[in-house]
Structure 1
């Protein structure tokens, strides 16, 4: 039985929406873009949402639009996709990392205070794998130190922390619609969420070459060409309608994994939902010291796996070259990156496929 790690959702309804947008709307900043933004803001429970061309651009523009000082330091997690830190560099700032909580793989608020210096201006907590960070502690520290909080919610569409959706907790939230995310737009795309109208207005200008409102050829800020295409927004609007159902299915799949993989070998399962946290399982990530052996065994069963992520950001060749990291600076993240393995997770997985993955893993550890 072949079991892919993920398959992007794409239905005839989404294809029809794309064709309709191509035939009947402006190709850039068409009606679907603005409707998608309104509907996404409503889903998150915020006043405004501004679409852009990627999650990376969402993070970069959020930093710049908030007026965060150039060459200041912004704290984020070393255990994430490299874009979480690259966006900081693109915005003219310096990434400063804080080690993770081993149970959640998200930034450890207990270590955060020691990472703050006089140069620190913001924190970017990453809701990794769709599990929200400990936002109360992060927000309290940010308030004490007068720091901005930009949520990296690129893997957390629809996740809930204490009754609030990811992207509605900090000063601003940033999302990605890359093909493997919980929802996509039929290509690259991103979204920035906020309750600050002035900030949203500035973001709308920045993504559209810095144009002044109501003018095509007057520009009052340095902007970019990072708009979301109309056809992608049209697909995104349809996907958004199904996000809740898809997230519920992801949680159901995670529950099957949890039941069948409990107490198997040295496997450490993902953090469970709590009274305060409803995760969305962008990925179902387990941990074992025999990670590479397990991946090779599952490959023989035609079960696809992946490592998210095999290298923490600070040990990427580029970051070692730029900032002089040697290894050992963030031991929990480094250890986790050597042990985590992602199992198949997407709404279209059948119960039988999930159980086959579990049976194969139990077979591996029972040899």
Structure 2
């Protein structure tokens, strides 16, 4: 039996709609892109959704739209994909890393409080890692007037206290990369915000700095638009997101039940106020690499997202970071293993994975 870590959805309805827009609309900036943005606004309960060509660019333009640039400092964690920090650097700002809380994989909020009281921080970029919502309400209390731009690239449909992740910050970024809960059959992303000024700036920045009037360019911008055919597929997928996430929640609940007696660290435990999106189901084990090899031999694909924390990647080492700077993030990276937790998993596949993971430890 083969079990993939991720299994992007692409069915006949999506292919048919992609073919239709290729025949009937402009390849770039077609009406379908605007419709996709409107549907994102409705789903995430925000005033503005700005579709762009990647989650990385969504983060960058959200920061720039909030005025972040050269000379500024943005607080984030090194326990993430490198694109989070790269987006900060691409604005001209400097990332200031803070260690994580191993119980949530979010930033250590006591450390955040200490840093914002002692240092000049211009924005905070928290990550809802693996689709688990971090305590953004407490972060807001700590941050005060400091803008918060959420990396929600792995948190499509996740909720906290009845609100969608993506609506509880100054802005949030989504990614539609093929492994994500919603994809567009390629790269893509979106900025979510209620901030009219940020939204206007982001729309201009994604379209070579163009103003609303057309060929007047009011700033130096980028070519970062989402293609019409990608938006067509995204429109269908966003309609199915809750159903798909429901299946992910069923699989995650089964894993938690089956693995609770094993000598591993399970994902953050959800309560009635938190609904994770379960981008991946993550465990931590000192035997991570041996377990991964064993599962691979039995046809079960796993991942190590992310086996090198950002501060130890070469470009960030050049900024002066080194081993031991963020001990919990380093411990996480050395032990984390991601398991398949997507909507296409059958009960037989889940049974098979459970059997073999338990078998390794027994």
Residues 179 and 187, structure 1, Cα contact 8 Å, conserved in 2: yes
Residues 256 and 355, structure 1, Cα contact 8 Å, conserved in 2: no
**Superposition pairs of residues 31-46 of structure 1, within 5 angstroms:** 31-46=31-46
**Superposition pairs of residues 161-180 of structure 1, within 5 angstroms:** 161-180=160-179
- What SS class does the counterpart of residue 148 from structure 1 fall into? coil
Distance 1:110 1:351 in 2: 41
Write the deviation string for residues 52-82 of structure 1: whole angstroms up to 9, x where unpaired. Answer: 0000000111111111242211001110000
5+ long unaligned stretches in structure 1: none
Residues 6 and 340, structure 2, Cα contact 8 Å, conserved in 1: yes
- The equivalent of 2:10 in structure 1 is 10
- The equivalent of 2:345 in structure 1 is 349
- The equivalent of 2:354 in structure 1 is 358
Shift of 1:273: 1.9
Write the deviation string for residues 100-120 of structure 1: whole angstroms up to 9, x where unpaired. Answer: 111111112111122335431
Distance 1:317 1:351 in 2: 42
- The equivalent of 2:296 in structure 1 is 299
Cα RMSD, aligned residues only: 1.0
Q: Is it true that 1:25 corresponds to 2:25 in the alignment?
A: yes
TM-score by length of 2: 0.98
Distance 1:262 1:50 in 2: 41
Distance 2:361 2:271 in 1: 29
**Count of residue correspondences:** 361
- What SS class does the counterpart of residue 148 from structure 2 fall into? strand
- What SS class does the counterpart of residue 51 from structure 1 fall into? strand
Question: Which 4+ residue blocks in structure 1 deviate beyond 3 angstroms?
Answer: none
Residues 17 and 235, structure 1, Cα contact 8 Å, conserved in 2: yes
- The equivalent of 1:206 in structure 2 is 205
Residues 260 and 355, structure 1, Cα contact 8 Å, conserved in 2: no
- The equivalent of 2:90 in structure 1 is 90
Residues 126 and 149, structure 2, Cα contact 8 Å, conserved in 1: yes
- What SS class does the counterpart of residue 122 from structure 2 fall into? strand
Shift of 1:142: 1.3
Distance 1:256 1:292 in 2: 23
- What SS class does the counterpart of residue 240 from structure 1 fall into? helix
Residues 159 and 278, structure 1, Cα contact 8 Å, conserved in 2: yes
Residues 100 and 329, structure 2, Cα contact 8 Å, conserved in 1: yes
Residues 102 and 332, structure 2, Cα contact 8 Å, conserved in 1: yes
Q: Is it true that 1:279 corresponds to 2:276 in the alignment?
A: yes
Write the deviation string for residues 210-241 of structure 1: whole angstroms up to 9, x where unpaired. Answer: 111121x2111111110000000001000111
- The equivalent of 1:243 in structure 2 is 241
Residues 69 and 91, structure 2, Cα contact 8 Å, conserved in 1: no
Write the deviation string for residues 76-98 of structure 1: whole angstroms up to 9, x where unpaired. Answer: 11100000100000000000111
- The equivalent of 1:226 in structure 2 is 224
Residues 65 and 197, structure 2, Cα contact 8 Å, conserved in 1: no
- What SS class does the counterpart of residue 354 from structure 1 fall into? helix
- The equivalent of 1:115 in structure 2 is 115
Distance 2:48 2:350 in 1: 38
Distance 2:84 2:236 in 1: 27
- The equivalent of 2:335 in structure 1 is 339
Correspondent of 1:330 among 326, 330, 348: 326
Distance 2:209 2:137 in 1: 35
- What SS class does the counterpart of residue 338 from structure 1 fall into? helix
5+ long unaligned stretches in structure 2: none
Write the deviation string for residues 167-192 of structure 1: whole angstroms up to 9, x where unpaired. Answer: 10010010000000000011000000
